[in-house]
DNA sequence: CTGGATGTTCGACA
DNA sequence: ATGTCGAACATCCA
């Protein structure tokens, strides 16, 4: 499900429901979601009595700032958070419940059970898994043209694979990579190390612009994404190529096609993106 | 009914 | 060392 704009929207909307509240109890119904500590009982014990002070984000990860730790949560394809009164019925696919001091529950729901949670010491947040090898966010000052060009030169992969690589730049996923490459006028199958300086600059610029715009629209809802208050995103109205196959390109009128690139469904305008 | 696809990532292989 | 591919899992659609 969520890429950077969706995670950012969840972060923002969820904050007002949980900040200042204390975790009094934790229930885990699908232990494989808990990656650190490896023992689920230890996970519960660490969180017991911890107050949630803030929610931050790095790439597609949510970072719950607690008294002594960060709870690092990745939503993968379908993960969702929501806050409910304890008495409210627990829906299917709810796998982790954090009971809060207010009598409410922060619930983690994940149809496909791919999501992950790590509890990390605050001072080594970025020193160990899962955050240690992440590249900069597109909005970070470190994501310069020089940095991006260096990364691109050293690889033999197609540009779409490079943009999906979170160690290069953190936060882009399948939707926003396709949208970025369309706006930059670059074909997803183009070899990264054959890109011109101008193309590299355009990709960087359009990645930043696309994500900013999508954050403004509260993310993209294709079928299941909702934010921390259960609301859908609006960016799907602005999609140029993703999920637009067999429709006319808004720019040139040619028919948008769908193909496979590195195993991922990939949307291309054959007029605007030449290989 | 069966196979393929879904917004992600990682570990197993070549 | 790098790059590709399937698996983790549930659901929906052709």
pLDDT in tens, A246-275: 999 999 999 999 999 999 999 999 999 998
Strand C footprint nucleotides (protein C-beta < 7 Å): 2-6, 8-11
Sheet holding A79-85: strands in order across?
Answer: A23-28, A94-100, A104-110, A79-85
The fraction of chain A above a pLDDT of 90, given in percent, is 99
Q: Is residue A192 part of a domain?
A: yes
Mean pLDDT score of chain A: 97
Q: How far is the CA of A162 from the C1' of C5 (A)?
A: 16
Comparing every residue's Cα with the C1' atom of nucleotide C5, the nearest one is A263
Is position A264 annotated as part of the catalytic site? Answer: yes
- What spatial distance separates the first Cα and last Cα of chain A, rounded to whole Å? 28
Q: Over 80: is that where the pLDDT of A1 sits?
A: no
The fraction of chain A above a pLDDT of 70, given in percent, is 100
**Which residue among the candidates A44, A57, A60, A204 is catalytic per the annotation?**
A60
Tell whether A83 and A116 lie within a shared domain.
yes
**Range of A226's domain?**
145-238
Q: Can you tell me the mean pLDDT for A149-168?
A: 96
Contacts of A88 (CB under 8 A, 6+ apart): none
Comparing every residue's Cα with the C1' atom of nucleotide B10, the nearest one is A130
Buried b (16+ CB within 10 A) or exposed e, A205-219: ebbbebbeebbebbb
What CATH number should be reported for the domain holding residue A36?
Answer: 3.20.190.10
Tell whether A152 and A116 lie within a shared domain.
no
Specify the pTM: 0.97
Q: How far is the CA of A81 from the C1' of C10 (A)?
A: 18
Region of A199 please: left (phi>0), alpha (psi -120 to 50) or beta.
Answer: alpha
Total domains present in chain A: 2
What CATH number should be reported for the domain holding residue A173?
Answer: 1.10.8.50
The per-residue pLDDT for A223 is 87
Tell whether A116 and A19 lie within a shared domain.
yes
Q: Over 90: is that where the pLDDT of A75 sits?
A: yes
The per-residue pLDDT for A275 is 85
pLDDT in tens, A48-74: 999 999 999 999 999 999 999 999 999
Opening angle at CA A152, ends A180 and A137, nearest 5:
55
| Paired tokens of A83 | 């806050």
- Return the half-sphere exposure (C-beta side, CA atoms, 13 A cut-off) of residue A230: 5
């Amino acid at each position: 499900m969520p890429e950077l704009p969706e995670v950012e929207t969840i972060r923002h909307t969820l904050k007002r429901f949980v900040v200042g509240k204390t975790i009094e109890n934790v229930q885990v119904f699908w232990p494989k979601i808990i990656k650190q500590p490896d023992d689920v009982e230890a996970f519960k014990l660490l969180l017991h009595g911890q107050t949630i002070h803030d929610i931050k984000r790095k790439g597609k990860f949510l970072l719950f700032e607690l008294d002594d730790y960060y709870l690092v949560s990745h939503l993968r394809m379908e993960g969702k958070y929501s806050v409910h009164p304890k008495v409210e019925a627990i829906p299917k696919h709810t796998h982790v419940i954090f009971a809060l001091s207010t009598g409410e529950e922060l619930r983690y729901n994940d149809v496909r059970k791919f999501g992950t949670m790590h509890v990390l010491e605050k001072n080594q947040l970025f020193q160990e898994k899962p955050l240690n090898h992440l590249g900069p966010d597109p909005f970070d000052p470190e994501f310069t043209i020089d940095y991006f060009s260096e990364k691109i030169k050293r690889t033999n992969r197609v540009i779409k694979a490079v943009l999906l690589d979170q160690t290069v730049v953190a936060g882009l996923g399948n939707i926003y990579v396709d949208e970025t490459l369309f706006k930059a006028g670059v074909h997803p199958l183009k070899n990264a190390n054959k890109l011109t300086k101008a193309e590299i600059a355009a990709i960087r610029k359009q990645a930043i612009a696309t994500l900013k715009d999508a954050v403004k629209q509260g993310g993209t809802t294709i079928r299941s994404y909702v934010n921390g208050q259960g609301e859908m995103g609006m960016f799907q109205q602005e999609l140029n190529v993703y999920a637009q196959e067999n429709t006319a390109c808004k720019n040139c009128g040619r028919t948008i096609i769908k193909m496979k690139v590195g195993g991922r469904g990939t949307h291309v305008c054959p007029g605007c993106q030449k290989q």
